[in-house]
Chains A and B, each alone.
Chain A
Amino acid sequence: MPALLVLLLGAVMVFAGAVTVTRRNPIHAVLAMLVSLSGAGLLMLALHSHFLAAMQILLYAGAIMVLFTFVIMLLSLKESEMGPEPASRKKWLAAAAAILLLYVLAYSLSAREPVQFQQPFLDAEVAAREASDGPLPRAQQVGFGSTEHFGRFLYTDYALPFELITVLVMAAVAAVIMLARRPDRHSLEATKLTGGGPA
């Protein structure tokens, strides 16, 4: 039953993805992407990752897509501003590359056993942990995919990347401030003071 669900969701997501990259109207593309991202959320639900599924819907389908919509609305691109349609030869080349990639991926993924939807990878992780003789976190005792499970992993095993993300966000904030700053502020001030134009 879960396999059927995954196939169905996969088909919807692939279709929505194709619509996303083929629409000329950016709003249509964004709406198709919304379907694709929601499908990913449902897929996570099927894999028993409730917390991740909720985050996927809230953050990607919710916040980020709203942001996309706002940007598109604020830019309000006209047909003439969107640039020419790419040459059809390029399109065929891109399609050929995509089909080749599809073939490689299908080949490399086809050999494996079907995914175990009930206990995704948990057994292997626990076994590896026991083999490595490290202290066992309580993560395996609580339900897989729950908020508690997620939180425990985030603040123990993934403490380093979690802390590093604070630096990443700080860098992003500083970057936005730098890039959004009005150019030539200092030069303008200097010009006013001396009365001369920039040489």
Chain B
Amino acid sequence: MQTTTPSSLASVANNRDQRVPGTNLLGTGLETRGVHAWFGKKHVLSDVSLDFAAGTVTALIGPSGCGKSTYLRTLNRMHEFIPTAALAGEVLLDGQDIYAPGTDVTKIRLKVGMVFQKPNPFPSMTIGENVLSGLKLAQLKKSNTDDLLESCLMRAGLWSEVKDRLGEHGGSLSGGQQQRLCIARALAVQPQVLLMDEPCSALDPGSTFRIEETISELAKSMTIVIVTHNMQQAARVSDYTAFFLSDGGPGVMVETAPTSRIFSAPVDKRTEDYVTGRFG
């Protein structure tokens, strides 16, 4: 990894628009209390408590295997798809525990959307059908789908590129366009929170730039949590950064702070070592 000085990343973080929590009316956001995760007997995540204030972007950074993706997947209950997966602690959305007995998990996932590392449009559907697929999948009624289609593609920064080819299959787009299509698809069901699991790791710099623009635009209307390996990206897009680390045991959340402070004056020595490129 290229060695970067914390101050250069801090200046990147400082030069972006600063968002302050609580300045908009987007609900109370997402909180986790003492989240642990296991795969079988393996304890992979230990005691993570974090708040994601409504209308902010939080980056989760850390080396591979530190549990940050696992943690992200506990936030919309995708964690439980792995057959041996187990979990302890609470994830509160608007103050309600999403793991509470009797919860309809499909309703949770409508409120907490997700964009994956690898673009995964539905190949049997057209571009337009892909964007609106969430309505069909979740059996939501929507009267004016044309407007919704256009606004989702606009917000995902894809409209101008695809407006004349909405009937083509999703697979005909480039990787970066496919990923923005997946973002548009996630937006169509109007989530409160959007989780992004290394959304740019398979993309070229140009597409990455477009997606980062999209994230900044989206943060005006929703809460975003993004896992990234790219610290420049964390500095460019996030208001808060949480650093995860595993020393061979379960991953822990070492430190969380406003992004500019994580890169300028981290409290923990391990955070400093990581953000200055000494390891990881």
Q: Bound pair: A and B?
A: no
Task: State the A residues within 8 Å of B (CB).
Answer: none
Task: State the B residues within 8 Å of A (CB).
Answer: none
